[in-house]
Amino acid sequence: MLSAEGLTHAFGPVRALDGISFRLEAGHTLAVFGPNGAGKTTLLRVLAGQLRPQRGRAEVRGGRAAIGWISHQSFLYGHLTVIENLRFWASLYGVKREARDRRAAELLTRLGLAERADQPVAALSRGLAQRATVARALMHDPAVLLLDEPFTGLDLAAAAELRRLLGELVGGGRVAVIATHNVDEGLELATDIAFQHRGRFVQLAPRAGRDRTQVADAYRKAVGVSGA
Amino acid sequence: MLERLKLAWVVARKDLLLEFRTRTAILSAVVFTALVLTVFNFGRDPTAVPTIDLAPSILWVTFTFAAMLALNRAFALELENHALEGLLVSPLSRTSLYWGKLIANLLFVTIVEAVGLPLFVLFFDVPVWHVLLPLVGVIALATVGFVAVGTLFSAMVIRTRFAELMLPVLVLPFLILPVAWAVQVTARLLAGRPLAEVAWWLRLLGAYDIVFVTLSTLLFPHTVDE
């Protein structure tokens, strides 16, 4: 469903990706943990098709239409309301009007934004804007979710709801890649775990029942940092 | 084809809605048009050069620079929250994106021209009623060409520093021909010359539109892809 083969990309002398390969089948979530500057965002940009790798290839079944991407940027227009933004982005993904309105109502309710639907995005707090970003990325019911620090700015309740929502989506046969520097955030959903450091996957393995402490220890050993 | 046009309209409608909400570019362009025409009106000496000789050039210089203001905003809208990145990773084709921007820009510039033309008539007291239809035709033909080129360059410069300065510098050389032809046609129409006399320039403007809309559509993906 999602595969990467030998992805390599450098920004000047800095290797952001260095021969990354993996394959994800339906129902799997790969959590990519790594410190700042490890190349996690570059990996997601390549998978999303935003950046062409200098070497290697990434393949997503269903192409660009199958991807739901939550990046560091919201892609939302501040002067449009939340609902106008959702309708616009869903239209680009070919979602029909009826399905679009139904999906928007469902997501806004689940993400606690129903009462903010007619507010301009510019008037939302950072946390609420992040919820709108999540809704924007899920409007077309994507088969592949690329999530770059998706919990940033969310309060505990919204983060828990997002975890539940993502869990349901992945359980329904989708795949997800979550990139984060925070082991606590990504672990709950992960079926597979990768530690990325200086552009390389220094470890890639199924989670296989490992708990938070075991993963955090393995992360520290692999990456050589504290504070996981 | 129909699907691409539908998506182009989705993009254009979004741009129009954003402009309707903010009214920044359109208001600036309309005020700019009014100010330039006012300055030319009070700055000229009608006894030195007859108005009818000067008016066509003033009209087209005003329209060209007012259009720059509108063109500058086309892709600047997409810088907010990096929306352009979202558009480029979505299934939206580059052609639909370009056409969407082109449609929105054409509507903006048309609004500016719709305000500018009556002001031009008012200030310069030129007789346009008997040639209104052909005059609107030449304005439409010239506008399509220079907005097509301007939209392409607007995408090209948007990620550069000083994009607002770069755009006129890059676009104006491409506008010399259509604006010169439009001035020639306008001058002859206002002088009451027969339509047959301007047919050649109208054909040139039509050919310019076809060539540059096609070229810009083909080149656009190379300007936005990393």
Give B226's contacts in chain A (Cβ within 8 Å). Answer: 50-52
Contact at CB, A93 and B91, closer than 8 angstroms = yes
Indicate which of B7, B13, B23, B85 best probes the interface with A, i.e. most A CBs within 10 Å of its own CB.
Answer: B85
Distance from CA of A141 to the nearest CA of B (A): 13
| CB distance A120 to A142 below 8 Å | no
Most distant pair of Cα atoms in chain A: their distance: 51
Q: How many other CB atoms sit within 10 Å of the CB of residue A157?
A: 9
> Closest chain B residue to A49 measured between Cα atoms?
B89
pLDDT band at A225 (very low <50, low <70, confident <90, very high): low
Structure-token pair, residue B53: 């000789």
Structure-token pair, residue A25: 């089948």
Name, in order, each residue with C-beta under 8 angstroms of B114's C-beta and a sequence gap of 6 or more.
none
For the sheet with A2-11, list strands across it: A14-24, A2-11, A55-60
Name, in order, each residue with C-beta under 8 angstroms of B43's C-beta and a sequence gap of 6 or more.
none
Contact at CB, A92 and B10, closer than 8 angstroms = yes
Contact at CB, A76 and B22, closer than 8 angstroms = no
> Closest chain A residue to B93 measured between Cα atoms?
A92
Q: What is the ipTM of this complex?
A: 0.87
> For residue B48, is pLDDT > 70?
yes
Percent of chain B whose pLDDT exceeds 90: 59
Contact at CB, B10 and A91, closer than 8 angstroms = yes
Which is more confidently placed, B3 or B12? B12
* For residues A36-42, average pLDDT: 90
Which A residues, 116 through 135, put their C-beta within 8 Å of a C-beta on chain B?
A: 120
Q: What would the pLDDT profile of B153-177 be if each residue is shown by its tens digit?
A: 999 888 787 878 888 889 999 999 9
Lowest-pLDDT range of A144-148, A184-188, B199-203? A184-188
Contact at CB, A50 and B88, closer than 8 angstroms = yes
Structure-token pair, residue B202: 């109208």
Contact at CB, B89 and A80, closer than 8 angstroms = no
Rounded Cα gap, residues A144 and B89, in angstroms:
13
Give the residue from A202, A200, A179, A203 showing the smallest Cα distance to A189.
A179
Collapsed DSSP state (helix, strand, coil) of residue A9: strand
**Angle separating helix axes A97-110 and A126-138, nearest 10 degrees:** 140
* For residues B79-98, average pLDDT: 92
Residue showing tokens 């992945």: A170
Q: Note the pTM of the prediction, 2 decimals.
A: 0.89
Q: What would the pLDDT profile of A5-17 be if each residue is shown by its tens digit?
A: 999 999 998 889 9
Structure-token pair, residue A51: 């950046």
> For residue B46, is pLDDT > 80?
no
Rounded Cα gap, residues A142 and B28, in angstroms:
41
Rounded Cα gap, residues A64 and A142, in angstroms:
10
pLDDT band at A184 (very low <50, low <70, confident <90, very high): confident
Give the residue from B51, B22, B23 showing the smallest Cα distance to B37.
B51
Name, in order, each residue with C-beta under 8 angstroms of A10's C-beta and a sequence gap of 6 or more.
A16, A17, A54
At A227 the pLDDT is 46
Contact at CB, B89 and A91, closer than 8 angstroms = no
Q: Is A141 on the interface with B (CB under 8 A)?
A: no
> For residue A198, is pLDDT > 80?
yes
Structure-token pair, residue B56: 């066509």
Q: How many other CB atoms sit within 10 Å of the CB of residue B162?
A: 9
At B8 the pLDDT is 96
Average model confidence (pLDDT) across chain A: 88
Give me the domains of chain A, ranges plus CATH numbers: 1-61+144-228 (3.40.50.300), 76-142 (no CATH)
At B226 the pLDDT is 62
C-alpha B209: how far from chain center: 12
